Structure 1
């Protein structure tokens, strides 16, 4: 007999151990106890109805016990019509065993419901390293979908705060956190979320419970932050039909112009969902980007009469300083945030400030919007990509004297867009990065950042190798982040995860394009990323209770 051990409230996908050749139901008094490292549900498993409720379980090591004779038991098989009086069944199930108490019309003596299945023997050609602490991606996808998705928790809470549970779990997973660490953190974080009721419909698995929006109806909901479930069903249909890549290719060109929505969290949700995978999670990300869309679409503008410039470090800090000290931008933002309709919007001062620089006709300053665009359109974006964007924004993050919460979002959103950029055409990719930079500069102005270092953090280059060697290694930084006591802000984990991924990324662009000059060299990138990770771990965020003056 084989038994399964899990936590008291766990479902099949949360299996911890398997007991082989055990007689007792609790599975601990005899037999072999072997850790389960991966659980793969049947692809048509339905959590609500229980259809196809079986899974393949990959064990940490092979069992020492083999059954050379197929085990069997004789049971009476019931007609499905009779069985349906006692169980909700479908064609994947069969009833067997038990007897009927005719007077009561009930069943006695262990009538059981069985799944109909056939499973062949499976073995791995290559065994995974049992000492590796990082959980399998598939296990994390299952947990996210079952326990932490919008099946259970709403995408926003307290009117305008974005649900970060997906990002936190993925970041912890990428840092190598244990299953216990991830579960404990998710349980803590979920306390502040708004949980769905028991009658909440699963519009992904059961789209028949809701009328699927037409394209025109979906367009009417763009940026309205209303009827999220209808949008989820709309995008889930295309993810099922086209696959995750196909759905993102189809819809992202119409969505990246609004990536500023919810302080970039629509994009961040989609990027993290796409990175870990899972059709439901990707559909949730697309739906949220649509739900919170805030237009920063590029306006028709005259081409620059000057040759396009390269966005070097010198140019980047010059542009950042120029917009954050521009009196017109500051006064326009103050004016709009203190008057209707922005003043009455319950979305927090950061989102109100970004709205003031958007293309929204009722909330923005058109002159301020075009002023920032004129700065951006002076630069050449033909070779601007995720690597370049992360180099630049992470370098700017380390060039600020304090630990800035707003700029951190520009970093994690750049990483998120980097996950998706290969699904965009070259022209759309350049447009998306221009929009992203416009939003990042708008966030810099909103945060009133003035304390940039005068000297490049990578200078002098002569002793960079020595300074890099003095910093903690990446394994030490990951351990340091995971060892922070209690439950730190999830953005700490996200920043360390992004910095680690960027520093250790395999970027083929460098040297592949003639004349391509990276924003940072590989050594500088590693130094900046480690510095950023150490900064977010060691230095508290500057308060965001009120907008700085």
Structure 2
């Protein structure tokens, strides 16, 4: 599993004069792993996801910008085969910090809010529910996601995550909520689709022929980022972002979007949606230390998995991938250019501990729900890796084994 950039950090200086290859466009594969996206929810869980565990009961955010992860945690636990009693235990512990929906309902306005205005969430949910009634979930995603993809990093990717988990569970209400939260939270980290087409970038993005080529292209993109310039941008606009992740992303969007776009152009387009998940998991593992991880690069894994659930529905998959990777590059910048130690990634998969032992250790405690989602994704990817990328199993298992000892690192 060695790649050409494993011996150096992502933080190494960018090399001038990188040549952008211009090749013919191809679409991401429309195939998806059926067992990654088929609903596994029991009837009790499915019913609750449409009702008391949706944002009908609790608002999509709490304590300001923090996102409601209740449904994601429930779906992850259910996909792991956890008993309903244990899921109920998680719900009771989690819902204590949530805010009642009744405190956040606003009178509807004559027109829908613009993307990223962060208002009228429930009016947006009603709108997307009606779209789903007419078009179905697949049709609604096909019609609307591409319009919002340029800003999918808003609210720390949670609109995307909510949408993907809801779609994987077959929960129409959650799909509507995910589309609404995306609409509500847009922070542009890419050109919109029409500008992207006009600029001809679709033909300038190379199509990866191997996973290593794809993963290495992410390294090249990060290496090309003008680190000093971007850090100066953040420092100069400290009053604008006040140190929070959300506003740091807004700062990059407002003042340095062109730098992200140029770097994002270097990321190859993968032929399989699963490669996106594996690449982000590999990056996550490489940025962990023995006792901590980057909280928002962890979101890169869960949002990549979420995107993979419905990417087959997006008309221009190459554009959706470009938007997603631009957002990841933005995260890497605002999180302080985390060192990436690819040498800590293991190449072999030991039999011990087995997955039952790993799962039992993690599920025994009421952990932050991000741990449950990472476990669910690592477990599923380990057991569904196709022949297109068979060497990732050790990384999947390593990611799961990191979970019990992790503390989350946030940008300064």
CA distance in 2, matches of 1:177, 1:257: 36
Q: Which runs of 5+ in 1 are unaligned?
A: 1-133, 202-209, 359-363, 511-517
Match of 1:406 in 2: 296
CA distance in 1, matches of 2:342, 2:299: 23
Match of 1:417 in 2: 307
Say if 1:184 and 1:394 are closer, same or farther in 2 by CA, change over 3 A. Answer: same
Contact 2:346 2:398 in 1 (8 A): no
Say if 1:420 and 1:199 are closer, same or farther in 2 by CA, change over 3 A. Answer: closer
Say if 1:501 and 1:145 are closer, same or farther in 2 by CA, change over 3 A. Answer: same
CA distance in 2, matches of 1:163, 1:473: 32
Task: Between the two structures, name the one with larger relative contact order (CA 8 Å, sep ≥ 6).
Answer: 2
Answer yes or no: is 1:351 the counterpart of 2:234.
Answer: no
Q: Which runs of 5+ in 2 are unaligned?
A: 1-38
Contact 1:171 1:497 in 2 (8 A): yes
Contact 1:415 1:498 in 2 (8 A): yes
Match of 1:9 in 2: none
Equivalences for residues 194-233 of structure 1 within 5 A:
194-197=99-102, 217-218=111-112, 220-233=113-126
Contact 2:217 2:267 in 1 (8 A): no
Equivalences for residues 446-525 of structure 1 within 5 A:
446-453=334-341, 455=343, 457-459=345-347, 464=348, 468-483=349-364, 485=365, 487-505=366-384, 507=386, 510=387, 521-522=389-390, 524-525=391-392
Say if 1:471 and 1:166 are closer, same or farther in 2 by CA, change over 3 A. Answer: same
Classify the secondary structure of the residue corresponding to 1:255.
Answer: helix
Bigger proportion of residues as strand: 1
Q: TM-score with structure 1 length normalisation? A: 0.61
Answer yes or no: is 1:145 the counterpart of 2:50.
Answer: yes
Classify the secondary structure of the residue corresponding to 1:541.
Answer: strand
Equivalences for residues 165-176 of structure 1 within 5 A:
165-176=70-81
Output one character per residue of 1:307-327: Cα deviation in whole Å (capped at 9) or x when no partner.
Answer: 94744444433433553x711
Say if 1:236 and 1:455 are closer, same or farther in 2 by CA, change over 3 A. Answer: same
Question: Which of 185, 188, 196 is the equivalent residue of 1:295?
Answer: 188
Say if 1:199 and 1:389 are closer, same or farther in 2 by CA, change over 3 A. Answer: closer
Larger Rg over CA atoms: 1
Contact 1:398 1:457 in 2 (8 A): yes
Q: TM-score with structure 2 length normalisation? A: 0.80
Contact 2:151 2:187 in 1 (8 A): yes
Deviates more, 1:429-438 or 1:272-281: 272-281
Shift, 1:537, TM fit: 2.4
Answer yes or no: is 1:388 the counterpart of 2:255.
Answer: no
CA distance in 1, matches of 2:344, 2:104: 56
CA distance in 2, matches of 1:307, 1:143: 43
CA distance in 2, matches of 1:502, 1:242: 31
Say if 1:273 and 1:154 are closer, same or farther in 2 by CA, change over 3 A. Answer: same
CA distance in 1, matches of 2:133, 2:149: 22
Say if 1:453 and 1:242 are closer, same or farther in 2 by CA, change over 3 A. Answer: same
Answer yes or no: is 1:286 the counterpart of 2:179.
Answer: yes
Say if 1:135 and 1:437 are closer, same or farther in 2 by CA, change over 3 A. Answer: closer
Output one character per residue of 1:527-548: Cα deviation in whole Å (capped at 9) or x when no partner.
Answer: 1011011112233223x3xx33
Shift, 1:441, TM fit: 1.2
Match of 1:317 in 2: 219
Question: Which of 326, 334, 341 is the equivalent residue of 2:235?
Answer: 334
Shift, 1:164, TM fit: 0.5
